[in-house]
């Protein structure tokens, strides 16, 4: 299990731990209804709610069940989204992956670049065999993103989650270490 939060780098990005100092930048996208629409959470209404999200990132890391990187552009250093693992199950060598990105940065390949690096870290350093992505059927851009990375759609999980007062169907996608 990691004890120090790893920093990952890509051509354009630095993926790093989110801190309390990032809360205002994170509020920009976590308060955007279009960004959180398919995340199973309500849009944040205050910076305090973002601080709770950051605290959750710290807790899942400390407990070894997840790891969420803040996505930053090398030229600005401010967090514009996040990407990482949740519901990690070391016994079965698997984890879910999730991500979100500020709307102003959609369509620029940033989520793809961040996801690719996080997947590589998961397979190489966390010894994952399987990484899953649970995606709402309406979230076509997210489906295209994971398909570009080599994920396979395995099926539809009916009424899999209860969020925001309703039951959500989710597609189960997965990628195996040997798929790369």
Q: Does 148 map to a domain?
A: no
Which tens digits make up the pLDDT trace of 70-94? Answer: 999 999 999 999 999 999 999 999 9
Total length of the chain: 180
Domain assignment of residue 126, given as a range: 8-133
Q: Is residue 113 part of a domain?
A: yes
- Contact 54/22 with Cβ under 8 angstroms? yes
Q: Is residue 129 part of a domain?
A: yes
* CB distance 19 to 54 below 8 Å: yes
Cα dist from 53 to 47, 140, 141, whole Å = 10, 25, 24
Q: Report the number of distinct structural domains present in the chain.
A: 1
User: What pTM was computed for the model?
Assistant: 0.94
| 1: pLDDT strictly greater than 70 | no
CATH code for the domain in which residue 110 is found: 3.40.630.30
In a domain, 139, yes or no: no
Name the residue among 117, 70, 67, 69 with its Cα closest to residue 87.
67
89 assigned to some structural domain: yes
Percent share of the chain, pLDDT over 90: 92
Whether 141 maps to a domain, the answer reads no
2 falls in which pLDDT band (50, 70, 90)?
Answer: low
Q: How many whole angstroms separate alpha carbon 76 and alpha carbon 69?
A: 16
* pLDDT-derived band at 112, boundaries 50, 70, 90: very high
Confirm whether 176 is domain-assigned: no
Residue 178: Cβ-neighbour burial (10 angstroms; 0-12, 13-18, 19+): exposed
In a domain, 160, yes or no: no
């Amino acid at each position: 299990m990691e004890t120090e939060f790893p920093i990952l780098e890509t051509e354009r990005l630095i993926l790093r731990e989110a801190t309390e100092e990032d809360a205002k930048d994170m509020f920009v996208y976590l308060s955007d209804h279009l960004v959180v629409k398919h995340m199973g959470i309500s849009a944040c209404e205050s910076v305090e709610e973002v601080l709770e999200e950051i605290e959750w990132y710290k807790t899942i890391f400390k407990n070894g069940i997840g790891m969420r990187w803040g996505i930053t552009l090398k030229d600005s250093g401010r967090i514009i989204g996040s990407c990482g693992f949740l519901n990690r199950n070391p016994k079965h060598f698997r984890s879910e992956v999730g991500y979100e990105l500020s709307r102003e940065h959609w369509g620029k390949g940033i989520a793809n670049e961040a996801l690719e690096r996080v997947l590589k870290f998961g397979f190489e350093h966390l010894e994952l065999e399987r990484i899953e992505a649970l995606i709402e059927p309406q979230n076509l851009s997210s489906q295209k993103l994971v398909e570009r990375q080599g994920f396979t759609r395995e099926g539809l999980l009916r009424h899999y989650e209860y969020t925001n007062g309703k039951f959500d169907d989710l597609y189960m996608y997965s990628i195996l270490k040997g798929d790369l």
